[in-house]
Amino acid sequence: MPSVRRYPLSNMLNQTPVQIAWVAADLDATEAALTTMLGARRWIRLPAVHFAPDTCTYRGRPADFVADISLSYAGDTQLELIAPIRGDSIYTEFLDAHGPGLHHVCVEEPDAESFDARLRAAERDDTPAVCEGTMPGGMRFAYLAAPGVPYLEIAYIPPEIRAFFDYVKEEQL
């Protein structure tokens, strides 16, 4: 029987997902479906987000891909839709293997040091980062992989990005 890693309860209490994300072939259709199913009221589109080689890696190499992103909220949970536009990425890989669908859940680390520690712990625990990077505004992210489950994204969200996410959330009221 495979070994299951156990984490202390105090660690699990800090693991509440802050985001659920889907990879989509059609943003309009996926927005409409999730609006009906989850009650999202307004979607904010971020067109042509570039994941550049100097700020992002994919499978250990510099990344260079573009995706359209759409954000909304259901209660306190952010909903993210990702539609790849060009370049090989964790998103095109997912679409090719599975078609559109649930891609990852995200947990937030409170600061950059915690993010770094979590990333190092994941490497030690054989849940490596498949894709990681830093976005404009300083948001850091890493997708961790384990067999049989969607990716787990860990993120550090600095105040500038937090303010934008708060705006997206307020648009739901």
Whether 158 has a pLDDT exceeding 90, the answer reads: yes
| Cα-only R_g, the chain | 16
The residue ranges of every structural domain in the chain are 18-170
Class of domain 18-170: alpha beta
Per-residue confidence (pLDDT) for residue 173, from 0 to 100: 85
Question: Are residues 44 and 168 in contact, defined by beta-carbon separation less than 8 angstroms?
Answer: yes
pTM for the full predicted model: 0.90
- Digit-coded pLDDT (tens) for 67-120: 999 999 999 999 999 999 999 999 999 999 999 999 999 999 999 999 999 999
Per-residue confidence (pLDDT) for residue 149, from 0 to 100: 85
